[in-house]
Amino acid sequence: MLRLAVVSTLLASFAVAPMQCTREPDPTLRTEDSAGDALWQLALEFRKKNDEPAAQATLRFLVERYPSNRHVAEAKRQLAGAPPTASTGGGP
């Protein structure tokens, strides 16, 4: 009888356990910033404080070290002299 209860409990716990899947998580749903995202925000802060040399240096570092980051295209555009776009929150 005890054995049946233990087996039943184990089976029930396996039935409600979360299933693990092998697919990659959606990057738009992440809960933490990546290092590249943090650098982008840092460049924004430097621009807000009118520290353009620091903003430019931060953008260059972002482009060099994190070339696959989602902000790199806009960072390159701004490093080439283009103004920030509205879609980037005023940009750096």
44 and 92 in contact (C-beta within 8 Å)? yes
Instruction: Kindly report the backbone phi and psi dihedral angles of residue 46, in degrees, each rounded to the nearest multiple of 5, phi listed first.
Output: -60, -40
Cα 39–Cα 24–Cα 60 angle in degrees, nearest 5:
20
C-alpha closest to that of 63 among 54, 55, 53, 72: 72
pLDDT digits (tens, 9 = 90+) for 43-61: 999 999 999 999 999 999 9
The model's pTM is: 0.62
Inter-residue contact 59 to 78 (CB < 8 Å): yes
Q: Which residue has the tokens 């879609």?
A: 87
Tens digit of each residue's pLDDT (9 = 90 or more) over 4-49: 888 788 777 766 666 666 677 776 776 677 899 999 999 999 999 9
